Amino acid sequence: MLFWLFMTILLAAGGVALVLGYRYYQTGDLGLLFPDWFQNKPEPRLGVSEHAMVDSRRKLLLIRRDNVEHLVLTGGPVDLVIETGITPPEENSYSAVRTRETISEPPAPPVFTRQPRALGQAVNE
């Protein structure tokens, strides 16, 4: 019984050592200080805001970097920067514009104008 307890503790310590070794290999830091574990991660500076397929090979990417967006065409023989220095719209103003657009549009006419049939009702009644 004591042998198996010792082996379990030894395997658990080996597992912790492997995890810490892998973390040191990946980041260069063991991260044993607790304040580092619970800090908020910084907001990423680089990201893809939107993407659209142009054809089977080419893709348009809207890439965000430090609150500036760039439109890039990739996948052809040469990647092209189409437009740079685009300022992204504010989140609140964009949603306000979208709500105003949806309110001002008249409702669409109904697709089916006949009354629905009841269950079991014949077609030509």
Tens digit of pLDDT at every position of the chain (125 positions): 889 999 999 999 999 999 888 888 887 766 666 556 666 777 788 999 899 999 989 999 999 988 899 999 998 888 999 998 888 777 655 555 555 555 666 777 777 676 767 777 766 65
**Is the separation of the CB atoms in 63 and 48 below 8 Å?**
yes
Q: How far apart are CA 95 and CA 27, in angstroms?
A: 40
Burial of 75 (0-12, 13-18, 19+ CB in 10 A): middle
Residues 6+ apart with CB under 8 A from 115: none
